[in-house]
Amino acid sequence: MAVSISRQIAFDVLRRVEAEDAYASDLLHAEFDAGENRALKPADAALATELVMGVVRWRRLLDFLLSRDLKKTVERLDLPVAIALRMSAYQLRFLAKIPARAAVNESVELVKRARKSSAASLVNAVLRKIAADAKTPAEKFLPAGFGTVERLAILRSHPTWMVERWLARLGEPDTIALLEANNRPARLTCAIHAPDARAAIIRALESAGMRVEDGTLLKSAFAVSGGSPARSEPFRSGQISIQDEASQAISLLLGVQAGDRVLDLCAAPGGKTAALARAAGPQGKVIAADLHAHRVRAMEAQFKRLGLRNISLVELNATRAMELPGEFDRILVDAPCSGTGTLARHPEIRWRLRPENLADSQRLQSQILANAFTKLAPGGRLVYSTCSIEPEENEAVVKDALHNSSGIRAIPSTEAAGLLAPLLAPGVKAPDLFSSDGFFRTSPAVHRTDGFFAALLEKS
């Protein structure tokens, strides 16, 4: 029996996500750009993406449903068998337009192609039971007496420890809203680098079959669906980049002026650096640093596409004393973090992260921030940001840094909000983006963006 190209791609990508700890979105992008797949029909690419991202998001619920008819947990099965079962279970429960027969038979065939023919009868039998129960609400299968934490964790497909800590901090309604937002496909948003050409850019994207709608946070941003803007002429010519709206807002908080010396300490993939370089202008000087050589090389290609020439690239370990000449008017520390604000975009993070990782991140972030202060000029400003929603990585790092560093103060939220106000989309009020403690925050549930945190600090 033939297997559709979309299911074969999804199967291969899901195996690599598990085996290589890679990001699903990166692997899909690479697959679609591979020579044999460049002519892939949009519908096939869309189905492959839906299968991969859906299976990764809903893995816990799928495994719970599958395990009812298995003698051992799905995670203890051979990986190709587990992937085939999850793919078919996802289609049967979430994709009503796909015939059950196709979902079951092609997963059986995928197992055979993976040289696991001995498991084919098991896969077939389990999936036929899943198909029979596909319209029964999953909650009906939960054991009696399940508490709120475990019930939400299974039905909304998140780790128990993650749900438990969010319930304690956010309460049940906001936690449910966050879990639901994490399980929706992330918006594909673009930063526009040629504002005067906005209408022409949108026409070019629409003529390529894409749908374009306004951003929810920034005037300049827009969202794209129905295709890949990375394959469009506006992208190739450097008029747009793919970047989440909250991520775009971080660069704006620094208030870079023409001629400024700017340091972006954890710069890759370079989207924020590009915005800083444009604001600094040809007389400004921007240094983009990153720990990994391959990420520095990737940024070099990115800045070449964008036509930016006022950026110097440096391979640098920011946890150590930095041998960079002079001091900087503006510094961005977009610190490496858990990424819990990006679980809609990178759902695999939820299965890899452990509670102890937060303390490890906090130590790393504190070292980087303390080192950054040593390179900040008097009167200079620094933004500390993460794409995490965890206090250990955010306000705890900033408060500790303010306590241990003399001459550093937090800029009041009223002033920081003033930097953003003229740039926000209609109906968005700048003060609403700052919490009661004065820090910038976005929420996947509220703003339809990634969850970002930022603090604006100044050196006296």
Active-site positions? 387
Residues in the chain: 460
Q: Who contacts 257 (Cβ-Cβ below 8 Å, separation ≥6)?
A: 279, 280, 329
> 3-state SS of the chain?
CCCCHHHHHHHHHHHHHHHHCCCHHHHHHHHHHCHHHCCCCHHHHHHHHHHHHHHHHCHHHHHHHHHCCCCCCHHHCCHHHHHHHHHHHHHHHHCCCCCHHHHHHHHHHHHHHCCCHHHHHHHHHHHHHHHHCCCCCHHHHCCCCCCHHHHHHHHCCCCHHHHHHHHHHHCHHHHHHHHHHHCCCCCEEEEECCHHHHHHHHHHHHHCCCEEEECCCECCCEEEECCCHHHCHHHHCCCEEECCHHHHHHHHHCCCCCCCEEEECCCCCCHHHHHHHHHHCCCCEEEEEECCHHHHHHHHHHHHHHCCCCEEEEECCCCCCCCCCCCEEEEEEECCCCCHHHCCCCCCHHHHCCHHHHHHHHHHHHHHHHHHHHCEEEEEEEEEEECCCCHHHCHHHHHHHHHHCCCEEECCHHHHHHHHHHHECCCCCHHHHECCCCCEECCHHHHCCCCCEEEEEEEC
Using alpha carbons, list the distances in angstroms from residue 295 to 20, 175, 299, 394: 18, 34, 6, 24
Structure token digits, residue 138? 């999953």
Q: Report yes or no: 384 and 335 within 8 Å, Cβ to Cβ.
A: yes
Tokens 């054991």 belong to residue: 143
Residue 20 has a CB neighbour count (10 Å cut-off) of: 9
Other CB atoms within 10 A of residue 292 CB: 11
Cβ–Cβ under 8 Å, residues 60 and 154: yes
